[in-house]
Amino acid sequence: MASLDPAHTLVVLNKSDLGSTLSAGDIPGLKTVRCSLATGQGVDRLKAQVSEAIGAQPGAPPHAAISSRHRQIVKQTLDDLKQAIEMLACGREDLLVPAVTWLRSALEALGTATGRVYTDQLLDSIFSRFCIGK
């Protein structure tokens, strides 16, 4: 235990309901938390210490951890959708085909993130419901 980094170590002294021969004083320089998972004693303090150690803020909404690749895909998808929305908002018929192209690009980007393969046949089926114009 002497080789552990005190800034990144939390020693959990569990089973405090059974009595212990080890105390916080036996582990100098490291944060310790005494608890009993069986009775629940000290569990709130353990949660608080772990939350503090990982930088979680109490009451903050949970967030998903995503890879930088997925973050880039989501960004690309949002950019593509914004382009499509701008074109559709103009209400011009000549912008429908380019808007659908942006929508297709957004779908393909999401497909790469989810691992789904969107074939041309599936996309044609989806977009066949739109009146693109002649």
Give 64-125 as a 3 state SS string.
CCCCHHHHHHHHHHHHHHHHHHHHHHHCCHHHHHHHHHHHHHHHHHHHHHHCCCCCHHHHHH
Tokens 């808007």, residue? 99
Cβ-contact 1, 27 below 8 angstroms: yes
* pLDDT tens series, the chain, 134 aa: 778 788 888 888 888 888 877 777 777 888 888 888 899 898 999 988 888 887 777 676 766 667 787 888 889 999 999 999 999 998 888 999 999 999 999 988 888 777 665 556 556 655 666 665 54
The pTM score is 0.43
Q: How many CB atoms lie within 10 A of CB 73?
A: 19
